[in-house]
Amino acid sequence: MEYPFYATFSSPFDSFTIVWHRTGSELKIQHIYLSDPKLNSEAKTLESFKQIKLESSSSITSLGEKIQRFLKGENVQFDLELLDFNRCLEIQKRVLLAEYRIPRGYISTYKRIANHIGINNGARVVGNALAKNPFPIVIPCHRAIKTNREVGGYQGGINMKRVLLEMEGIEFSIKGKVITDKIYY
């Protein structure tokens, strides 16, 4: 069995780590870890994968550089061809693909996403699927908020989610609620 590989990159939010594997000549991303206030991305990676090797490739370096630019506020378009959705349940994949389609500068709510993909009363299902999003940033789960306009949770921490939204032009009230009329779905 071939072990997965990882590469860690610096960012304005500490670091992020891309975990990937090869299947023949094909390279697939298994996970992207964000640092949060308690634990950095490399520590999360080493905690999650007991057998893993530090390595990179031109595809991983290119993706890492795109994520770095995104985290500095640039408008970067990601494609999905390198992501390994085989590790996701079908319902999670549907949620992730719906989330991916939310454009920069827009938000949606967990409830709206659930309704869009046909899950009645599915806000919690959507929230749980996004909480376990293996591809944050590429799948922009920071763009999903609660119906009451609170930001909700985020793998990189609430502050990172808020800063990412602000970089996309989303404003916040004094009480920390999202103010925008750019709502998707």
Active site residues: 141
C-alpha–C-alpha distance, residues 11 and 70, integer Å: 10
The residue ranges of DSSP E strands in 1-118, in sequence order, are 5-11, 14-23, 26-34, 53-54, 108-109
Cα 2 off chain centre by:
26
Residues 40 and 11 sit within 8 Å (Cβ to Cβ) = no
Contacts of 67 (CB under 8 A, 6+ apart): 9, 11, 16, 18, 32, 76, 137, 138
Cβ proximity of 109 and 146 under 8 Å: yes
The string of DSSP codes covering 127-167 is HHHHHT-SSBTTB-GGGEE-TTS-----TT-HHHHHHHHHH
For strands 14-23 and 5-11, give the pairing: antiparallel
